[in-house]
Amino acid sequence: MAASRTALIAAALRMTHRSDDDSPPVLDDPFAEVLLGADAAALAAVVRELPRQALLVLRSTIVGRSRVAEDRLRAVAAAGPARYVSLGAGLDSVAWRHTDLDLEVVEIDQPDSAADKLRRVRAAGLGIPGNWRQLPCDLTTEPLADVLKRAAPGDGGRATVISWLGVTQYLTPDAVGASLAGLATAPSGTEIVLTTLIPDADVAADDLESVRLVASIVEAGGEPWLTRLTRRATGDLITGSGLRPAGEVGAPHLVEPLFAGRADGLVANAVELVTVARVP
């Protein structure tokens, strides 16, 4: 399996948010450009060529969901040592950006994407933090519950936040359910920030054309959307797996304040639901 093209596009969206949108950024990720390296200019051109509305929907979705996850991480880490597990990590740069925290960062990704990430880290001349490690794995052959045990051997008394962002739509419904069941085996109290993509029938009319364009682009790139879930279906899957929503499923208050008062066209959208869940 090749490294994920959508992970590179997500990094390009974070990079161009920083350069093209108003200050302050919703998510300030200076390492997105660093990790994209020689691919940065070409990928920036790809996202800038998108129709304006599609670009706004994509960029607000990418930066909004990551900011929610990182705000939850900082809240948990304020109380003591923490662990951040990035499931489907892509070019996540939390380990380089949150150096003020007592933090252990574990990135779980498919082997080709993990290898590509490590190659980019080395090519950029970034130091490899002592608190960062990768767990390359194939979740089609290794249960997520087993991978999570490797992510936190002995637990070490660290409160854990797991981010699972922009992944569920690329899995089959059965795989989403199995993954949630695996997440439910994490230590009690673990917080999980996850996203689900809503079906066309629930998308606002102004966003529907943009959503369909993005769907066609990712499908042409070999990563089609396989699962889209309503708010109710998301909640049913979460509770059915043994997890408990920490508040409303897809709660607007998690994302909307991040975009308040912006004049660059970025707004919170409900194309992708961001939900915080906990392991009882």
Contact, 6 vs 224, CB < 8 A?
no
Rounding to the nearest 10 degrees, give the CA dihedral for residues 260, 263, 265, 266.
-30
Q: List the pLDDT tens digit at each of the 280 positions of the chain.
A: 567 889 999 999 999 999 999 999 999 999 999 999 999 999 999 999 999 999 999 999 999 999 999 999 999 999 999 999 999 999 999 999 999 999 999 999 999 999 999 999 999 999 999 999 999 998 888 899 999 988 887 667 799 999 999 999 999 999 999 999 999 999 999 999 999 999 999 998 989 999 999 999 889 889 999 999 999 999 999 999 999 999 999 999 999 999 999 999 999 987 999 999 999 9
Q: Where in the sequence is the domain holding 251, given as residue range(s)?
A: 5-278
The CA distance from 274 to 205, in Å, is 20
The span from the CA of 268 to the CA of 255, in Å, is 6
List, in sequence order, every beta strand (DSSP E) within the chain. 82-87, 103-109, 132-136, 159-164, 191-197, 244-245, 272-278
| Count of domains for the chain | 1
The pLDDT tens digits of the residues spanning 145-160 come to 999 988 887 667 799 9
For the record, the structure tokens of 255 come out as 């994302």
What pLDDT was estimated at residue 154?
Answer: 63
pLDDT at 4: 84
Q: Is residue 55 a contact partner of residue 265, using CB atoms and an 8 Å limit?
A: no
Read off the CATH number of the domain in which 40 is found.
3.40.50.150
pLDDT value for 3: 73
CA distance 36 to 8: 7
Q: What is the dihedral of CA 107, 139, 118, 11, to 10 degrees?
A: -70
Strand partners, 109: 136
- What pLDDT is recorded for position 221? 86
* Neighbour order of strands in the sheet with 103-109: 132-136, 103-109, 82-87, 159-164, 191-197, 272-278, 244-245
Query: Using one digit for the tens of pLDDT, what is the confidence trace for 8-65?
Result: 999 999 999 999 999 999 999 999 999 999 999 999 999 999 999 999 999 999 999 9
**pLDDT score for 155:** 66
